[in-house]
Amino acid sequence: MTRNSTSVARPPAPARRPAGPGVRRLRSLYLALLGITAVSGAFGAAEVFTTTDPVLKPLASGLAVLFTILFCWIGANFWIAAIGTVQFVRQSRLRTSAGPARADRRARTPRRQDLGGRGTAIVMPVHNEDPDRWSMALQAMLESLDADGALDDFDLYILSDTRDPNLWVREETAWLRLSRRPAFRNHVFYRRRTENVERKSGNLKDFLELWGHRYRYMIVLDSDSVLEGPSMLEMVRRMDANPNLGLLQVWPQVIGGRTVFGRLQQFSSWLYGRLTLTGMAALLGPHGNYWGHNAIIRIEAFMRHCGLPRLPGKGPLGGEIFSHDFVEAAFLVRGGWEVRIATDIGGSFEDSPPNLPQHLSRDRRWCQGNLQHAWIMVADNIHPVSRCNFLVGILAYVSGPLWCLFLLGSAIFFSADSGLFGSDFSALSIPAWLQERFPSANISNRLLLGATAVFLLAPKIMGLATCAIGQSVRLSRVAGAVVLETLISFLVAPCIMFRHSQYVLLLVLGRKSSWDAPQRDDAKLTWKEAFQALWDLELAGAIIVGLALAHPGPAALWALIVAPGLLLSVPAAVWTGRAKPDGNAAALRLFATPIIGGEGRGETLARTHHLRTTQAQASQRSPGTLDAALRDPVAANLHACILTSGPNAAAGHDAAVVDLAHRRAVREAPPPHAVAGVLSSPASFWHLHLEAVSDSRAGVGRRPRDGTS
Amino acid sequence: MNAVSSELNVSVPPRRNRDRAPFVRADGTGFGPWPLQAHRFLSRYGISEHHIRADIVAEAMFLVRQDNHGHWPEPTDSRIVPAVDRVLNERLSGYPHCGAPDPRTATLRLRFVLQPTVGRQELLLRRGAFRQLCERDASGALVPCHPPPDQRMVMHRQTLTYFWQNAGRLVSRLLNAAVRTAQRGISGGGDAR
């Protein structure tokens, strides 16, 4: 198997195109609104943080700057949501007047022969994920394409980076189950890498270098993604219609939450996230962003411009790029290609973390990736809009420590400035202090407080208002859900703030985060697990309450904001992390959202759910493990042929490996790396297979194999 | 055939008692220190039917005897296994110049056959029948796990440059220019004198 290395054929890149006049006008309006927000925030902060004490003046100035930054941050999000609301209403009217056009669009979608024989590859990188979940989603997606008569134009690649031996064997079985279906024959492929070089981006790069030249477009999926067939066809059609389009990102609707936490995320993504996204799409225009999945990419452009560089510096913020998606979008824009976000294509779904600890764990990975983007943000030849995308991504995590600093600093400032340190606190009247600090006659102070509240709450009201447009939901139920969601957000926000501060601090100190697979199922979060994950937040809450009680005053007001969330973090995590059978059915019903299924009407999603339910029952009867692969001739043949025919196949018969495998995997409990070694070596695997078969024929009972069955 | 015969012609090991005994019979069965090695070798490739295995072992024995040139009275276990491998390769169109990449590919192809039935094994092991099997068998017996990765198209890493690097370059250029100017000034002054 010879593999010659050649360079990517370089097609002429399109000239860098500026945004259209409509987008430019919208950007000007947005910048003007942001400027007004910044100026008014700065003036208001200067009035609030005034002092005559020369010692406190540097602190007051710092707090004024911090407040201005944070005020701009929430103001920026508010204005994006406001623009998104207007755009959303416009699009809804257009959609209503356009009517159904599914058949028409299908007819206009280019076929493989129209694309020079180079169709579309659907790629799903997987890393230690449950094969039953993603294989069922893939089956439903392929069935959807087949129902539209378009399956011949697509090939599916499962790109595995899995290290868990049991999951590896199950992946192969899942692939076999898919590929043996007559309709999918020669359309479903499986490749596992032996080395996880550059993680997910390296996985995709390996695919592109080996097979990318066979396709014109690739649709990138995450292991929790579901895309309707008509939506994929529409994505291909749009790519074909616009030769300058390098990447089209589709909004993935968060769906399938079976815990209150998951359902909350689903609800807020549906009600508020959609508006923010619509606003972003309108503002970004052809200089959009990419979130790593549920997107279609022009392969030639991607291969030419998106080979990821190594970042300068060492430690977690340098070296290998952790979060590749934003960078690839910026590089495509730098290369002159358009990157757009399509908000009007439905039928695109993803899961969300089922509980708070999982959500925070995912945030840690994202935090490292986003902070690394600072290197790209300041690099030469990056488009200004791409720089803004990076800045927004960084601020999403840096705003946590900024809020933390602001709360701490302002508590110290107000206490010190009012002369409350060392005074008789029992005589203190909070209302009197508030009246003194924020006098009713001072309109600018009141406006500042009011604007802050509006910036935080108005997107929820705007989301509620858009529910009335063309959606079959009861407004009273949604309003109740908004109130409850706001209350829960109030509790969760301090936890997220503290955790983000911790993550940023750890990264600055040089601590890396791991690349573990996220939990996708809805396994019940126990009290013990919740306490192990969040005990430090409980401790921080107790310390804050203690300090507030010891020094009552303005600081106590600040403690009231953060302390309840921290103190209740463990109970809240357990309650919101419970799946349906354990209760919370009323809350789950309250946060139910309609499915935005697009032209596919959510049929693929329903089919996925049905298949997963069926498969879960079947898996309980016959779990696929290494043990099964060793004893079952079908699984053994399958594993051997996959192992020896891959591009990274290990060759040779290593007697030492056989000996180790024989000793450890059969007679002793082997460690995971030894099991993986057995599975990686064709010779040792066959040796073990023969031994296992001989044992079973000779009537030898099963020997215990920890971690393999 | 050449590989086997050249291997056998290189050196003749001393006779031992166990080599004298008939090891593999004409029907494919045998007895000796490792009596079922050839059969075990075949079963590992999923060939389970006795008459097919006997056929393959018989042909392998013929090959070994043909290459033996009368040095040993009976074929030994160490020679029967490569011979069986060779028979398999030939029957699976894996012999040299047959269009297949290498002999090993043929044996791997056989492993793609899952749940081998008698008919499928017979069809597969008929000499040169592999391509026919690919075309005719629509039951999903042959499953490629991915297309052949014949040519790797390298994705080059993008480069990142920063303004401070440019500033550094500018400063170094200015310094070099100043040095050159100074040198020219010194040498120019000398010329002028």
* Contact residues, chain A, for B113 at CB < 8 Å: 637
Asked whether the predicted pLDDT for residue B8 surpasses 50, the reply is no
Residue B158 DSSP code: P
Mean pLDDT of A423-427: 49
**Testing the interface with B: which of A1, A204, A653 to mutate, by most B Cβ within 10 A?**
A1
In the structure encoding, which two tokens stand for residue A199, read together?
């993680």
Residue A288 DSSP code: -
Decide if A65 contacts A419 (C-beta within 8 A): no
Report d(CA A337, CA A653) in Å as an integer.
49
pLDDT greater at residue A54 or residue A285: A285
pLDDT greater at residue A151 or residue A111: A151
User: Which pLDDT does position B101 carry in this prediction?
Assistant: 44
- B163 touching A (Cβ < 8 Å): yes
The 10s digit of each residue's pLDDT in A78-93 is 999 999 999 988 887 7
Q: Identify the weakest region by mean pLDDT among A24-38, A621-635, B6-20.
A: B6-20
Radius of gyration of chain A (CA): 28
Asked whether the predicted pLDDT for residue A664 surpasses 70, the reply is no
Q: Strands A348-350 and A253-254, how do they pair?
A: parallel
In this structure, how many other beta carbons lie within 10 angstroms of the beta carbon of residue A648? 13
The 10s digit of each residue's pLDDT in A200-236 is 999 999 999 989 988 999 999 998 899 999 899 999 9
Contacts of A115 (CB under 8 A, 6+ apart): A153, A216, A240
User: Which pLDDT does position A705 carry in this prediction?
Assistant: 37
User: Which pLDDT does position A187 carry in this prediction?
Assistant: 86
Asked whether the predicted pLDDT for residue B108 surpasses 70, the reply is no
**Cβ distance of A641 and B153 shorter than 8 Å:** no
Q: Identify the weakest region by mean pLDDT among A189-198, A234-243, A384-393.
A: A189-198
The 10s digit of each residue's pLDDT in A44-66 is 888 888 877 888 888 889 999 99
Name the residue of chain A whose CA is nearest to B159's CA.
Answer: A309
Decide if B38 contacts B54 (C-beta within 8 A): no
Closest residue to B157, CB basis, from A191, A213, A309? A309
In the structure encoding, which two tokens stand for residue A474, read together?
């009861």
User: Which pLDDT does position A286 carry in this prediction?
Assistant: 93
The 10s digit of each residue's pLDDT in A670-685 is 556 666 666 666 656 6
Asked whether the predicted pLDDT for residue B7 surpasses 50, the reply is no
Q: Identify the weakest region by mean pLDDT among A186-200, A451-465, A532-546, B2-16.
A: B2-16
* Contact residues, chain B, for A7 at CB < 8 Å: 153-154, 156
Which residue, among A39, A51, A61, A84, has the nearest Cα to A447 in the 3D structure?
Answer: A39
pLDDT greater at residue A119 or residue A422: A119
- B113 touching A (Cβ < 8 Å): yes
A426 — phi, psi (to 5°)? -65, -25
- B145 touching A (Cβ < 8 Å): yes
- A197 touching B (Cβ < 8 Å): no
Write down the residue that tokens 């697009």 correspond to: A598
Give the CA-trace dihedral at A193, A198, A203, A205, to 10 degrees.
Answer: -130
- A189 touching B (Cβ < 8 Å): yes
How many residues in total does chain B contain? Answer: 193
Asked whether the predicted pLDDT for residue A3 surpasses 50, the reply is no
Q: Identify the weakest region by mean pLDDT among A24-28, A418-422, A616-620.
A: A418-422
Could you tell me what percent of chain B has a pLDDT over 70? 38
pLDDT greater at residue A436 or residue A225: A225
Mean pLDDT of B91-115: 51
Its pTM surpasses 0.95: no
Asked whether the predicted pLDDT for residue A281 surpasses 70, the reply is yes
Asked whether the predicted pLDDT for residue A99 surpasses 70, the reply is no
In chain A, positions 380-409, which contact chain B (CB-CB < 8 Å)? 380-381
The residues with which A217 forms a beta bridge, in sequence order, are A120, A298
Report d(CA B68, CA A167) in Å as an integer.
49
Label each residue of A294-339 as H, E or C: CEEEEHHHHHHHCCCCCECCCCCCCECCCCCHHHHHHHHHHCCCEE
- A640 touching B (Cβ < 8 Å): yes
Average pLDDT, chain A: 80
User: Which pLDDT does position A83 carry in this prediction?
Assistant: 94
Decide if A574 contacts A531 (C-beta within 8 A): no
Closest residue to B151, CB basis, from A6, A191, A307? A6
Asked whether the predicted pLDDT for residue A282 surpasses 90, the reply is yes
Per-residue burial over A539-565, b = 16 or more CB atoms within 10 Å of its CB, e = otherwise: ebbeebbeebeebbbbbbbbbeebbbb
B110 — phi, psi (to 5°)? -65, -30
Write down the residue that tokens 């490996």 correspond to: A657
Which residue, among A439, A375, A400, A374, has the nearest Cα to A69 in the 3D structure?
Answer: A400
Report d(CA B116, CA B110) in Å as an integer.
10
- B159 touching A (Cβ < 8 Å): yes
Mean pLDDT of A388-402: 94
Q: How confident is the model at residue B79 (pLDDT cuts 50, 70, 90)?
A: confident
Mean pLDDT of B27-43: 55
- B44 touching A (Cβ < 8 Å): yes
- A651 touching B (Cβ < 8 Å): no
The 10s digit of each residue's pLDDT in A482-511 is 998 999 888 899 999 999 999 999 998 888
Asked whether the predicted pLDDT for residue B72 surpasses 60, the reply is no
In chain A, positions 430-459, which contact chain B (CB-CB < 8 Å)? none
In the structure encoding, which two tokens stand for residue B66, read together?
């043909």
Mean pLDDT of B37-45: 71
Report d(CA A14, CA A7) in Å as an integer.
20
Amino acid at A660: L
User: Which pLDDT does position A518 carry in this prediction?
Assistant: 63
pLDDT greater at residue A533 or residue A635: A533
Decide if A50 contacts A60 (C-beta within 8 A): yes
- From the CA of B42, how many Å to the nearest CA of chain A? 12
Report d(CA A236, CA A106) in Å as an integer.
10
Q: Identify the weakest region by mean pLDDT among A10-14, A203-207, A519-523, B75-79.
A: A10-14
pLDDT greater at residue A457 or residue B23: A457
Query: Nearest-5° angle of CA A333, CA A334, CA A339?
Result: 5
Mean pLDDT of B2-21: 39
Per-residue burial over A142-156, b = 16 or more CB atoms within 10 Å of its CB, e = otherwise: bbbbbbbebbebbbb
The residues with which A579 forms a beta bridge, in sequence order, are A259
- B134 touching A (Cβ < 8 Å): no
**Testing the interface with B: which of A157, A209, A687 to mutate, by most B Cβ within 10 A?**
A209
Q: How confident is the model at residue A650 (pLDDT cuts 50, 70, 90)?
A: very low
User: Which pLDDT does position B143 carry in this prediction?
Assistant: 53
> Measuring CA to CA, how many Å separate B14 from each of A104, A495, B17, B18, B83?
82, 80, 10, 11, 21
The 10s digit of each residue's pLDDT in A294-351 is 999 999 999 999 999 999 888 888 888 989 999 999 999 999 999 999 988 888 999 8
**End-to-end alpha carbon distance in chain A:** 35
**Cβ distance of A3 and B149 shorter than 8 Å:** yes
Name the residue of chain A whose CA is nearest to B140's CA.
Answer: A180
Name the residue of chain A whose CA is nearest to B113's CA.
Answer: A637
Q: Taking the CA atoms of A425, A428, A434 and A435 in sequence, report the sign of the dihedral they define.
A: negative
Please state the ipTM of this predicted complex.
0.75
Which residue, among A348, A112, A311, has the nearest Cα to A201 in the 3D structure?
Answer: A311
Q: Identify the weakest region by mean pLDDT among A3-17, A142-156, A688-702, B122-136.
A: B122-136
The 10s digit of each residue's pLDDT in A244-269 is 999 999 999 888 788 888 888 989 99
pLDDT greater at residue B70 or residue B127: B70
* Contact residues, chain B, for A179 at CB < 8 Å: 140, 143, 145
pLDDT greater at residue A512 or residue B4: A512
pLDDT greater at residue A363 or residue A691: A363
